[in-house]
Amino acid sequence: MAARGNRKIIPVADPAALAKMAADRLAARISTNSGRVAVCLTGGSSPRQLYALLASETYRSRIPWDRVHWFIGDERFVLASEPLNNMGAARRIFLDQCAPASNIHPILTELSDPDASAEQYAGELKSFYGADQLDPARPLFDLVLMGVGSDGHTASLFPGDPALHESARWTVGVPKANVEPYVPRVTLTLPALGSCREMLFEAAGPEKRAILARVFGGDNLPANRARSSGETVWLVDQAALPESFRGR
Ligand code: 6PG
């Protein structure tokens, strides 16, 4: 296992190449586990091309859908049917066509508030994992997908939020988002997200370049602090790649 703290940055040409590399890594990661596989998806716009690719024939036939379970790293506290709902988007783009319903594990937003929803999801994760404590030798997820926001947030862990220091709980309710959409959230915490064989960030487009320069420069931002107990990989397209990383 790679030492915690290692981060690999892989430059790719454009968003299409990025989605293809992410899909290939996901398929390769799944193929290393012949048992039950757990993948944690992410929200936002960055993973949508990847999700569409997974439903295409090339990838659809490479994924053993009956034994892959799909979770979500954070959720906007809106009804599942609303366009802003992260798992709702993943379902519409690929999961509902490809995965058995019992393998899809959404964060329930029909509950009274984000804290109740967070607690319910922690219970679901613990029951899937088969223990209440994370064992570093047995990661919760095979792969965790992540994105980065313009303020350096990842999942729904925002800069300066006390949730960043959570060391015991696997999930927390987030009453206030730092960026649009300004709806409450539920997020997995750094220890839960980091309990994975691979954490895979996707970042594309010129609007990500400034924040990536800060994250890769070592600023104390959520997206920098989020690390896998295994491999942490960033796929970054040319438009997003900070100047100092070009040509490396
Ligand atoms: C969310 C996300 C969030 C996202 C980043 C990047 O619910 O918004 O999970 O962490 O990954 O904000 O979003 P974009 O991909 O839209 O830039």
Q: What is the pLDDT of residues 206-237, one digit of tens each?
A: 999 999 999 999 999 999 999 999 999 999 99
- pTM attached to this predicted model: 0.96
77, 82, 148, best to mutate for ligand 1 pocket (most atoms within 8 Å of CB):
148
Kindly tell me the sign of the dihedral angle through the C-alpha atoms of 148, 152, 158, 163: positive
Of all protein residues, the one whose alpha carbon is nearest to atom 11 of ligand 1 is: 147
pLDDT of 246 above 90: no
Q: Over pLDDT 70: what percentage of the chain?
A: 97
Of all protein residues, the one whose alpha carbon is nearest to atom 12 of ligand 1 is: 149
Q: Tell me which residues have their CB closer than 6 angstroms to ligand 1.
A: 42-46, 74, 76, 86, 147-149, 153-156
Mean pLDDT for the stretch of residues 115-124: 98
pLDDT of 124 above 90: yes
Of all protein residues, the one whose alpha carbon is nearest to atom 3 of ligand 1 is: 155
Give the pLDDT band (50/70/90) at residue 244: confident
Mean pLDDT for the stretch of residues 61-78: 98
Q: From ligand 1's centre to the CA of 44, what distance in Å?
A: 4
> Do 155 and 193 form a contact (C-beta atoms < 8 A)?
yes
Q: What is the pLDDT of residue 245?
A: 82
Q: From ligand 1's centre to the CA of 130, what distance in Å?
A: 29
DSSP letters along 42-98, please? Answer: --SSTTHHHHHHHHSHHHHTTS-GGGEEEEESEEESS-TTSTT-HHHHHIIIIIHHH
49, 51, 74, best to mutate for ligand 1 pocket (most atoms within 8 Å of CB):
74
Q: From ligand 1's centre to the CA of 190, what distance in Å?
A: 16
Q: From ligand 1's centre to the CA of 230, what distance in Å?
A: 22
C-alpha triplet 84, 80, 180: angle, nearest 5°: 20
Give the pLDDT band (50/70/90) at residue 162: very high
pLDDT of 4 above 70: no
- Looking from the CA of residue 42, the nearest atom of ligand 1 is 9
Q: What is the pLDDT of residue 54?
A: 98
Of all protein residues, the one whose alpha carbon is nearest to atom 7 of ligand 1 is: 43
